[in-house]
Amino acid sequence: MDAPAQLILIATYRCNLACSHCPVARSSKALPSIIARKAVIHYLRFFRPNPARIKICGGEPFLNFTLVKDIVRTALSNTTSCEFTISTNGTLIDKNVFSYLQKHPEIEIWYSPHPAEGMRPVRSLSKLPNTGINLLISPKNVVRVSEEFLKYLNEGYTGFNFLPEYFTRWNDAQVRILKYEFTILSEMIKKLAGRGLRIRIKNLTSSGSTPLFNDGVVIDHNGDVFQNNMILSKHFFYLKDQLKIGNIEHPSKVRWEQKIKYADIFKHSMDKRTYSSTQIVDKALSDFVNLLH
């Protein structure tokens, strides 16, 4: 069977922040190490991915640093190479976590800055060996996107993942500004590349069946297996029973070959206007990506 792109571990539904735009169905549920280890070993032995890719998401994954280290250690003891991705709000990256990440360039950190400056990490995460910014674009900050891009570039970040806010209603004027800002950004990025500055745009290499979420072997906090991590969202949480394909405690019973039309589920699980708005901003993002190819 084809190797799935990546293993996605939902480390926790907890977060130390409470962003107004947060799509996560936040709760105290968290992934125990024993289930995480089983999932990692099964993913590596059963799928033999090359390269192996493990995404650790939440909530805020660094609320359980021991789990993060356990996942990395388990993977690296069972395969010669593995790439890790962790999305974080950065606020819990203290001296200890920072020094660990400096020694593990195979862990890609995607830092999502909180809109309020006072909720930002004290350490400059741009000094980590493998890091980038998740730049959230909302109807409120859309006029400042290129400005924010330059600000983070000046702080030393050279990796960017542009994330227009989904599940919200954008009016026509806001969409026009978004498209305009994307045009400006693409010109800036090309010019900077022409001058030899290598800027990594994550959007160029990420694709999936739904906006925002990712396809892969998704392991929930209790070992339940899914094929897309949209189930961690408060918008789709209620669909878990319908979308579950098994539990990693019983891998031989997981319906790995089951085909679920996530794009259709995405469409039918929100009101028409919000879906249409989400599609429009997602199309603007795709056009931006095409300008960069």
Binding region for ligand SF4 (CB under 6 A) = 15, 17-19, 22, 24, 58-60, 89, 112
Q: Report the nearest approach of ligand SF4 to the CB of residue 176 (Å).
A: 26
Please give the full DSSP string across 4-54, using - where no structure is assigned. Answer: PS-EEEE-BS--S---TT--B---S-B--HHHHHHHHHHHHHHH--SSEEE
Least distance CB 264 / ligand SF4 (angstroms): 26
If the CB atoms of residues 16 and 102 are measured against ligand SF4, the closer one turns out to be 16
Q: In angstroms, rounded to a whole number, what is the distance separating the alpha carbons of residues 140 and 80? A: 45
**H or E segment and range at residue 266:** helix 262-268
Which is closer to ligand SF4, CB of 19 or CB of 41? 19
| DSSP calls for 126-189 | GGSSSEEEEEEE-TTTGGGHHHHHHHHHHTT--EEEEEE--SSPPPHHHHHHHHHHHHHHHHHH
Look at the chain and count its residues: 293
Residues 71 and 61: beta-carbon distance below 8 Å: no
Shortest distance in whole angstroms from residue 235 CB to ligand SF4: 13
Least CB distance from residue 38 to ligand SF4, whole Å?
A: 25
140 vs 191 by CB, closer to ligand SF4: 140
Q: Which is nearer to ligand SF4, 24 or 175 (CB)?
A: 24
**Which one, 49 or 58, has the nearer CB to ligand SF4?**
58
Alpha carbon 283 to chain centroid, angstroms: 19
- Beta-carbon contacts of 245 under 8 Å, excluding residues fewer than 6 positions away, are 225, 226, 227, 254, 255, 256, 258, 260
Supply 161's token pair: 């993942």
Residue 113 beta carbon to ligand SF4: minimum distance, rounded to whole angstroms: 9
Cβ closest to ligand SF4, residue 22 vs residue 265: 22
Taking the complex as a whole, how short is the minimal distance between the CB of residue 224 and ligand SF4, in angstroms?
20
Residue 137: strand pairing partners: 164
Closest contact distance (angstroms) between CB of 121 and ligand SF4 is 11
